[in-house]
Amino acid sequence: MRAFALSFVATLGVGVPAAWHVLAADVEHGGKKLRPMQQSFTVDGTKITLDVDRSLVVTGDAVTASLRAFGPVKQVAIDLDLLHANTDPGERVSFPPTQIDHEKLVLTAAPDGGPAVTSRLVLGKRPTRLAQTDTFQVYVTSHGHKADKVEMGMSDVETPDFAGDVQAGNAAAVNIMGWSGNSLPIEIAAEGPVTLSAPFVVAVTIKNTTGHTLEEVPPPSLATQISAGGFLDTSDEDAWQIEQIDREEIDLKPGETRTTRYRVTPNHATGTQVTLVVEAAAFRSRPGRPIAGAMDVVTFPIVEAPTPTVATAK
The CATH number assigned to the domain holding 112 equals: 2.60.40.1930
Taking 60 as the threshold, does the pLDDT of residue 17 lie above it?
Answer: no
Looking at the chain, the whole-number percentage of residues with pLDDT higher than 70 is 75
Q: Are 119 and 103 in contact (CB under 8 A)?
A: yes
pLDDT tens, residue by residue, 67-94: 999 999 999 999 999 999 865 544 545 5
Q: How many domains does the chain have?
A: 2
Please indicate whether residue 304 or residue 63 has the higher confidence score (pLDDT).
Answer: 63
307 assigned to some structural domain: no
Taking 60 as the threshold, does the pLDDT of residue 62 lie above it?
Answer: yes
Distance CA 198, CA 34 (A): 24
Question: For residue 276, what are the domain limits?
Answer: 4-29+182-301
Taking 70 as the threshold, does the pLDDT of residue 124 lie above it?
Answer: yes
309 assigned to some structural domain: no
Please indicate whether residue 121 or residue 26 has the higher confidence score (pLDDT).
Answer: 121
**Predicted pLDDT of residue 233:** 63
In terms of domains, do 55 and 166 share one? Answer: yes
53, burial (CB in 10 Å: exposed 0-12, middle 13-18, buried 19+): middle
**Predicted pLDDT of residue 159:** 87
In terms of domains, do 163 and 187 share one? Answer: no
Share the mean pLDDT of the chain.
80
165 assigned to some structural domain: yes
Taking 50 as the threshold, does the pLDDT of residue 15 lie above it?
Answer: no
In terms of domains, do 253 and 268 share one? Answer: yes
- Strand 4-11 with 214-217, pairing: parallel
pTM over 0.85: no
